[in-house]
Amino acid sequence: MWCGCKQFIVRNFLFLEQGLSEETTCTDQFTFWKRLSCSPWTMKVQDRVNGTLGQNMILPCIFTHPKQNTYTGDITVKWMQVNKHEPIFICILHNETNAQDSNCIFPRSSERLLLQGDPRKGDISLGINNLQFTDASQYICRVELNYNKFEKHTTLNVNAPAQILSLSKDLEVLGMMVKCIAQGNPLPEIKWTSLSGPLENVPIKTDHSNFIVISSVPFSEQDVYTCQAVNSLGQVQKTFPPNHSNCFGLMVTTGILGCLLLLGLVLFTLDVMKRRQSAQTVVLHDKRVQRVKTSIYQANETVYANISTCPVGREQGYVYSTGALREGGKVIPKSPKNRPLGPPPDIGEK
């Protein structure tokens, strides 16, 4: 490919300029033209890019141009959606090795869009933060230089698991209905169930542009309805009236708390009874010990009361008891302990 010029005019002009003649060999002409030939425009993008709702995504776009190594002009990067007239992203900067200045313009004041690559190195990839369903579209990646421009198309697909946006009672042409609005990509399938069983052949309205599915069933005060939304990435369900499931959960929670409270009360009562029984055992033990001590004390007093010492002036070392022992109905006088041999002492008159 020649650099966008008409080969015939350039060929004749250069032949004259270089002093070449028509008789120049084919080999010489080929070598001469090879020096003047330039690299073609190239741009690499992905045909389809898949992202997930709420996550960050990069739309890759890499380009080369004929003056890749010598171009010093401005580089203008533009990203557009095919269904919009104005670009959603513009960045203009000067192509110099040490240039630090850049002038990036965002027609939509959005912090979600940013340039991920370096246009001076041929990378003009676009980053999109917090993907939304509205970002799903066909995009155009375009680079404009002072002497030419180039562009290619890529498609962004935003996937999302099924979610229920709302479940409420609504008055429609057929009367009071329960309406379920679900969203997701792929489009979710809606399934209805009630206390009386599954509900089939329910009409469905679909909004493909916003990945929304709407379904309604006739409402009855005596019934409870469950809407389930399912796609290949997930499933979710809600119940109407919403307080029905809440009441059931409240009943279960209250029952569990009641059982725990009752169990705690029983354990507390058993602990109190055990402590009281232990206290009573200690008191009885103390009383028994006190009685034994009292009996021993009284016995000691009786023994000491029946013991007397010798009168003053009598021989010391002799102790006598005024008591007597009985044996076979006879009274046997007590003999003093440690009595010395010899005549009995003079006890004296009574």
User: Which residues of the chain carry a pLDDT beneath 70?
Assistant: 1-39, 97-103, 105-109, 244-253, 292-293, 295-350
Residue 62, token pair as written in the block:
């890499």
Model pLDDT, residue 239: 95
Query: Which residues sit opposite 204 in a β-bridge?
Result: 215
Query: Is the peptide bond between 241 and the residue preceding it cis, with omega within 30 degrees of 0?
Result: yes
- Looking from the CA of 22 toward its CB, the CA atoms found within 13 Å total 0
Superfamily name with CATH number, domain 42-158 = Immunoglobulins (2.60.40.10)
The predicted structure's pLDDT at residue 162: 96
| Model pLDDT, residue 173 | 81
Can you give the pLDDT at residue 129?
94
CATH number of the 160-245 domain:
2.60.40.10
pLDDT given for residue 98 in this prediction:
57
Burial readout 32-54 (b: 16 or more C-beta within 10 A, e: otherwise): eeeeeeeeebebebeeebebebe
Helix or strand run (H / E) with residue 194: strand 189-194
Is the pTM of the predicted complex or chain greater than 0.75? no
Residue 279 pLDDT: 76
Confidence (pLDDT) at 68: 84
Q: At what angle do helices 26-36 and 7-18 cross, to 10 degrees?
A: 110
The identity of residue 80, as a single letter, is M
Confidence (pLDDT) at 344: 54
Q: In this predicted structure, what is the pLDDT of residue 349?
A: 46
User: Rounded distance, CA 138 to CA 80, Å?
Assistant: 9
pLDDT of amino acid 137: 94
β-partners of residue 106 are none
Task: Count other C-beta atoms under 10 Å from residue 250's C-beta.
Answer: 11
